[in-house]
Structure 1
Amino acid sequence: MKTILVPSLLGVAAFILHAFALEDLSVPIVSVWPPGPEIFVGESVFLYCRMASNLSFAWTYLWYRHTSHAASTPNHRHSLYGDSYSITAVTKEDAGSYWCKAEQQESNLTSKAQVVLRVSEEAPPSLTLTPNTRQIFKGDNFSVQCPTSPKGWELKQLSPVHPNITTVDQRTPCPPPGGAVCPETSSNWSFEATSESSGLFWCEGVGGRSNSVNITVNYGNMLLRTPALPVHLGDEVVLFCQYRTERQKQATFFRDGMDIGTFNFFSSDGAVTLTIGGVKITDEGSYKCSSPDRKMESPESWLSVSPDRGSWKWFAVSSTIVLLCLIPLIVWIIHSRSQQMVCSRSCWPLTKGDVPSVPLPETKQDVTEVQWDLSWMEMTSLMDKQMYPGT
């Protein structure tokens, strides 16, 4: 019995220690890409959840927003792919807490972790994407150009399959050996779209990073090209519905699932176009296109609309100038009114009612006093009699 009991106790102890070890190691870690203390309005963001341990168990991941138990509200810009959570065209409303909950049914383990997103409205240096679209056919060419900088940039890519940062190309360090001066150049990278081209792209330099954009390589028969970066109010925007092989002259467009019409404007590159003139906030949304018979359909693509920052800056500057010009006038008016209120009645000339009634000395009425009450002829006769008595 003793020989059987001791191994049993050791087995129970080992199981308990193993369970505690699993609980200590099974802590999810939530990472945010691109990295940094803040994310910027209009860019794309990936959140990844992984376990801190290297346990080989199969984990199931659930995502929550704001609280650790309320399901995430459906949103065209928010997408869930197991352990990843992506946001397209970030807005101020996307700021807040995000929770990842990891579950393992076999070991009955549950753990969760939180990350807080802070959204900045300041405009970061902007990369340039050619063509300006989030979706591209496999085999097509595209390029990413980093902003102009005297210190150079590195292009970073984050694959949605393997959440590890990859430096796309190592450039000559700046400043180069020998103390030479670095020229202000714009780094440009060209690609042929493959399965490895999908992911999040951004530029990094000594002073920080640019905005990020998510590029998806399409393997289907149709895609819709919408601007990868936010467009401004009042801009003219062209959406391109493109067939991979067929040259169709018509396509039906949808916004947020609603049919907005069939168009037959044929562009030079074989795409059916939808032109939106004078973009409004209500034009923002999720767009897709399909063939007229609905047998082919593109994935959805988000069109982001933001206020024109340049117009707001000009309005703010103009308002400040006008206000500075009005301040002296306002001060003068206030000063004048205060003087009127302080000044007593002695500051003003006396009126007729204020003069005391004093009787005037009686004098003999002179001719000149009477003359204003007489006609011209009567006045002349009176003067003659005084000057020449007896006439």
Structure 2
Amino acid sequence: MSVNALPKATLTVDLNPVFTGEKVTLTCSVESDRYWTEYEWYKGNAFNNNRLSQYNRATLTVNSVKESDQGLYWCQGIRNSRPTSSSISDQVTITVKALPKATLTVDTNPVFTGEKVTLTCSAGSYSYWSYKWYKDRSNNAVTQSDRHSITGDTLIISRVEESDQGLYWCLGERTYRPTSTSISESVYMSVNALPKAKLKLYPTSPYIGETVNLTCSVNSKSNWRYNWNKDGSYIPVTQSGRVSIRENNLTIRSVEVSDQGSYRCQGDRQHRPTSTSTSNQVSITVKALPKATLTVDPNPVFTGEKVTLTCSVGSYSVWTRYDWYKDNTFYQSIASQYNRAILTINSVKESDKGLYWCQGIRNSRPTSSSISNQVTITVYDLPSAVSLTVHPNRTQHFTRTSVSLSCEEKGNSTGWRLMRYTDRGTESGCVSYNGTIEGSTCNIRTTLIQDSGVYWCESGSGENSNAVNIT
């Protein structure tokens, strides 16, 4: 009797060892005969029923290997005709290795809006990894953007926003086995809002020349320094003639139209959070002061006349007083008597000529009007009623010649006489021993040296004509 050996079964494995998540294929081949109707698979000294129910063919494929798939495998071919089975194959041990572990770290957590945060993904072994990043869902991959930068093993998020808050994880990939790391454990990144800065303005609608105060307050934390912005431009923290910054207050004195604009503030400091949010916007609109107008009646004016200056303000009411100015100086002596809208000078003198302006003052805002237009008051001397004329018309005369001095009247003036001043004092002008008076004329027939002097005409009321020096 001859005994034949059963056909030999051989088991091969395409990948061994294999990493979790990979696909592995086991192939059972019988060396002779054909038509093996099914194949039985064994693992760990036990018939692999569940594998048999799915894989009774010559190949057994495990699509996503788990650690539980590690172990000892063998196979056997089965058919209906003799020989009804092959030999049992050699045993093959499949080794399952864990994927390299990916670890995700976040340098700052929680993070404040506007800050920069760096996420780092590291694999415990192997090299040449490229990394993928995911947020909230496994199919929500984080990609490059103007705020998201992926370089090597880092994801940098600049100018963090509240929408960046959430669960993050990472995964390493490469072209050769193992082609990926495990998925890292998820890390929840919290995003906190920056402390809020609030800007207040007083007064809300300033008038030209008033003082304006802006106050920047922060709802939490301490040790803040404050930056100020006007129309998007940084206002440096420097003192000037009108602008001063102290702690959280910006003060503008004698506000001008050029100070109009949109203002914001922001706090900063050395430790986190290093800044506040940018404050609400406050707009400064500078109003013109009520207009003061100065009128003068009459102008020009003659000495001795009365002149009236009127200061009128075009809007608002109840102006409690009026300030008057002359030649760039506060008109103190007049102001003590005339703090009303009308300034009257009853008997004008030559010293009253000059440049005048006025300003309205009151207790409630606006506390003053604009400074009025400037008006120059011109003062003329009253014209003399008589003038002195000399014939011949010269100031130097020779002795023993004739001279005629006449007080020539203007208008209805009467009672003029000729006067003379010499080293002896004031005396009648027609005292020469050979002088005669005809009406208002003094005729000196023969001049002498003692006839020299200053001559003028004088009225009974004390008015004087022009003076003539005769030698």
- TM bin (shorter chain): under 0.3
Between structures 1 and 2, the one with greater helix share: 1
TM, length-normalised to structure 1:
0.27
Highest CA radius of gyration, 1 or 2?
Answer: 2
Q: Taking CA–CA contacts closer than 8 Å with sequence separation of 6 or more, which of the two structures ends up with the larger relative contact order?
A: 1
The structure in which a higher percent of residues are strand is 2
- In the superposition, the TM-score normalised over structure 2's length comes to 0.23
